[in-house]
Structure 1
Amino acid sequence: MQNQLKIALVQANLVWENPIQNRVNFLKKINNISENVDLIVLPEMFTSGFTMNANSVAETMTGETITWLKNIAKEKDTAIMGSLVINENDTFYNRCVFLHPNGDVNTYDKRHTFTLAGEHKVYKAGEIKSIINYKGWSICPLICYDLRFPVWARNIENYDLLIYVANWPKPRINAWDALLKARAIENMSYCIGVNRVGLDGNNYEYPGHSACYDVLGNRIDNIPFDKEETEIVTLDKTHIKTYRDKLNFLNDKDAFNLTI
C-alpha cells in the first residue's frame, strides 16, 4: 500500500484513425517523462480519435495496442490506462484498459454512449462499474460522456480516485470544467480528467482542459489549455482521510440500487 500516488496526465493531439502513428507519438511523450510515476493516463480512443468508423481501427484484447501497453507498463514499471476501440465477439466497445506493471489488465466499457454522435449505434454500452485496486488505491475509471451522469459515478464503493478519459469538444468545455470539479466534491475523492487537444477528422476542435481536483474541489495541476502537455500530479491518501473523517459527508449519502 502506498500513501502517495504519482500520476502523469498526457494531454495530446491524436492522428485521425491511425493507431500506428498514435502509438509512435505517445511513446515519444512517455519516454520524455523525466521521473518515475505510478500511473500514466492517456485520453479516450487514444489510438484513433473519437470515430464511429469502428471497423477501420478496432483491435482485440490480444492486439498490437494491448501488447504495446503491456510492454510499456513492464519496461517503465508503471501502470498505464486509456480507452480504445475493441472488437470482442463481433461487437465493438469503447473500452478503457488499465495495464498493471505485472501484466494484469482491468477493463471498463463506456456505460453512457454518446447518442448525439450516434455512438450507441456502433458501440455496445457497458453494464459494469469497475473499481481497480492498485498499490492500495481504489480507482474508478470512467469515459467522457459518463461525466454527465453522477449516479453512475456515485462513490458507494469508497474509492479514492475517479478518472475520466475523454474527447470532449470545445463548445461544451464549460460543462467539463464544472462537472469534473463537482464529481470530486460530491464523492470526496480525487478526480482527474484527461482530454485531448486539436482537430479530429470531422473538424471538431478539442481544447484540452485536463485537470486534477482534490476532495474539496481545489485544482492541483497546472496543465495549460489548448496544447499538448504532460504533467505529473502527486496524490496523497492523508488528504482524503483527513477530510472524510472531519466532514463525514459520504456517511450521509442516499442509499439506492441502480438497475441497468
Structure 2
Amino acid sequence: MCETLKIALVQADLVWENPEQNRRNFTKKIDAIHEAVDLVVLPEMFSTGFTMNPKAVFETMQGETVLWMQELTHKKNIAITGSVVIKEECRFYNRLFFVTPNGGLEYYDKKHTFTLVGEDEIYTAGTKKPIIDFKGWKICPLICYDLRFPVWARNTEDYDVLIYVANWPTPRVTAWDTLLKARAIENMCYCIGVNRVGTDGVNSEYNGHSAAYDVLGNELTAFGSGEEQTEIVTLEKRHISAYRNKFKFLQDRDGFILK
C-alpha cells in the first residue's frame, strides 16, 4: 500500500476525430513528464474529441488506442486513464479505461449520457460504478456529465479519490468549478477533474479549468484558463484519514437505495 499517490493531470487541446494524431500528441506530453508519477489522467474522448459521429472513429477493445495505453503504461511504469469511443456488440460506448503497468485493464461506461446534444441517442449508457484498487488507493472514475449527479458519485464505497474526465464547454465552466469542489467536500475525498481546451469540430469552445481538490475543498492546482498544461499533485492517505476521523461527516449521511 502506498501512503502517497502522485497524479499528472494533462489538460490538452484535441485534434477533431483524429485518433492517430491525438495519440502522437499525448505520447509527447507524457514523455515530457520528467517527474516520477503513478497515474496520468487524460480528458474525455481524448483520442477524438466529444464527437456524436462514432461510426467515423470508433475502436474496439483490441483497438489501437487501448493497445497504445497498454504499451505506454508498461514502458513508463505508470497507470493511464481517459475515455475513448468504443464499439462492442453493435453498440457505441463512451468508455473510460484505467490501464496499469502490470497489464491490468478496467473500464467504466458513462452513466449519464449528455441529452443536450443527443449523446443518449447514440451512445449506450453504463449501469455499473467501478471502484478501482490501485496501489492501495480506492479510485472512482466518472465522466463529464456525471458530475451533475451527486447521488451517482455518493461515497458509499469508502473510496479515496474521485476522478472526472471531461469535455466541459466554456459557457458552463462555472458549474464545473463549483461541482468539482462540492464533490470533494461532500464525499470527503480527493476530487480530480481533467478537462480539455481549444475548439472542437462543432465549434464548441473549452477553456480547461482542470483541478484537484482535497477533502476540505482546497484547490491543489493552478491551471491557466485555456492553456495546454500538465500539473502534478501528490495525494496523501493521512490527509483523508485525519479529517474523516475528526469530522465523521460520512457517518451522518442519509440512507437510501438507488432504483
Under TM normalisation by the shorter chain, which class is it? over 0.9
Aligned to 1:32: 32
Q: CA deviation at 1:67?
A: 0.4
Q: Match of 1:10, SS?
A: strand
Q: CA deviation at 1:239?
A: 0.2
After TM superposition, the structure 1 = structure 2 runs for residues 120-159 of structure 1, keeping only pairs within 5 Å, are: 120-159=120-159
Q: CA deviation at 1:258?
A: 1.0
Structure 1: 5+ residue stretches without partners: none
Aligned to 1:68: 68
1:159-208 Cα deviation digits (max 9, x unpaired): 00000000000000000000000000000000000000000000110010
Aligned to 1:228: 228
Please, what is the CA RMSD of the aligned residues? 0.5
CA distance in 2 between partners of 1:27 and 1:39 (Å): 14
Aligned to 1:89: 89
Q: CA deviation at 1:253?
A: 1.0
CA distance in 2 between partners of 1:223 and 1:237 (Å): 24
Aligned to 2:246: 246
CA distance in 2 between partners of 1:179 and 1:94 (Å): 21
1:77-114 Cα deviation digits (max 9, x unpaired): 01000001000011000000000110110100000000
Aligned to 2:178: 178
Aligned to 2:78: 78
TM-score, normalised relative to structure 2: 0.99
CA distance in 1 between partners of 2:253 and 2:85 (Å): 35
Q: CA deviation at 1:35?
A: 1.0
CA distance in 2 between partners of 1:68 and 1:182 (Å): 34
Q: CA deviation at 1:36?
A: 1.0
CA distance in 2 between partners of 1:147 and 1:257 (Å): 19
Quick one: which amino acid aligns to residue 198 of structure 2? G
Q: Match of 1:66, SS?
A: helix
| Pair 1:191 & 2:191 matched | yes
CA distance in 2 between partners of 1:73 and 1:225 (Å): 29
1:28-49 Cα deviation digits (max 9, x unpaired): 0000001110000000000000
CA distance in 2 between partners of 1:254 and 1:131 (Å): 21
1:229-257 Cα deviation digits (max 9, x unpaired): 01110000000000000000001111111
CA distance in 2 between partners of 1:208 and 1:115 (Å): 22
Aligned residues: 259
CA distance in 2 between partners of 1:256 and 1:77 (Å): 41
Quick one: which amino acid aligns to residue 122 of structure 2? V
CA distance in 1 between partners of 2:182 and 2:35 (Å): 30
CA distance in 2 between partners of 1:104 and 1:257 (Å): 31
Q: Match of 1:174, SS?
A: helix
Aligned to 1:113: 113
Q: Match of 2:129, SS?
A: coil
State, as a whole percentage, how many aligned pairs show the same letter: 65
Moved over 2 A (4+): none
Quick one: which amino acid aligns to residue 57 of structure 1? V
CA distance in 2 between partners of 1:84 and 1:241 (Å): 34
CA distance in 2 between partners of 1:126 and 1:206 (Å): 25
Q: CA deviation at 1:21?
A: 0.3
Quick one: which amino acid aligns to residue 167 of structure 2? N
Quick one: which amino acid aligns to residue 73 of structure 1? T
Q: Match of 1:92, SS?
A: strand
Q: CA deviation at 1:145?
A: 0.2
Aligned to 1:205: 205
Q: CA deviation at 1:225?
A: 1.4
Quick one: which amino acid aligns to residue 68 of structure 1? W
